[in-house]
């Protein structure tokens, strides 16, 4: 069974001034509380709240943009396999240049890797 957890803008008991948003605690609230507690214990983990839709923060969007401008531009294949083959060729082109995939990540302003060694806490 797939459970989706979503943080409410109005936690149990709070109101927005127009109507009551109170609801009794649910199992999802319990899971969310446990997740928050676990995250708080991890000194190496930083969570950032991101908007629901932010293509400018998704490096894959830049990959697709590159494919659509080159391999998929004006492609009118007779079969879906033609599109898949052109897409695969484009991915090979991008991987052939070791700097290109990293440029997609750099363009978003995001980074991979800890700002300090993972075995040291920030206060050490």
Answer yes or no: is 68 within a domain: yes
Answer yes or no: is 13 within a domain: no
Q: What digits encode the pLDDT tens for the residues 65-107? A: 999 999 999 999 899 999 999 999 999 999 999 899 889 988 9
Cβ within 8 Å of residue 74, ≥6 positions away? none
Q: For residue 12, which of 26, 22, 2 has the smallest C-alpha distance? A: 22
Lowest mean pLDDT among 22-31, 34-43, 71-80, 100-109: 22-31
Answer yes or no: is 88 within a domain: yes
Answer yes or no: is 40 within a domain: no
Cα separation values, 67 from 2, 57, 63, 106, 124, Å: 33, 18, 6, 18, 45
Cβ within 8 Å of residue 71, ≥6 positions away? 86, 87, 89, 90, 93
pLDDT confidence of residue 5: 44
Tell me the sheet residues that pair with 15.
20
User: What is the length of the chain?
Assistant: 124
Answer yes or no: is 67 within a domain: yes
Confidence of residue 115 (pLDDT cuts 50, 70, 90): low
With H, G, I as helix, E, B as strand and everything else as coil, classify residue 51: coil
Work out the mean pLDDT of the chain and round it to a whole number.
78
Answer yes or no: is 64 within a domain: yes
Q: H helices within the chain, ranges in order? A: 27-41, 59-69, 80-96, 99-108
Predicted TM-score (pTM) above 0.75: no
Range of the domain at 66: 55-108
Answer yes or no: is 63 within a domain: yes
Domain count, the chain: 1
Answer yes or no: is 12 within a domain: no
pLDDT confidence of residue 98: 87
């Amino acid at each position: 069974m797939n459970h989706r957890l979503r943080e409410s803008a109005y936690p149990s008991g709070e109101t927005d001034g127009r109507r009551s948003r109170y609801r009794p605690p649910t199992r999802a609230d319990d899971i969310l509380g446990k997740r928050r507690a676990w995250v708080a214990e991890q000194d190496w983990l930083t969570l950032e709240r991101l908007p629901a839709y932010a293509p400018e923060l998704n490096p894959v969007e830049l990959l697709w943009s590159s494919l659509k401008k080159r391999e998929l531009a004006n492609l009118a294949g007779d079969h879906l396999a033609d599109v898949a083959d052109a897409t695969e060729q484009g991915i090979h082109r991008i991987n052939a240049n070791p700097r290109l995939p990293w440029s997609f990540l750099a363009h978003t302003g995001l980074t991979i890797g800890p700002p300090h060694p993972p075995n040291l806490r920030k206060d050490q």
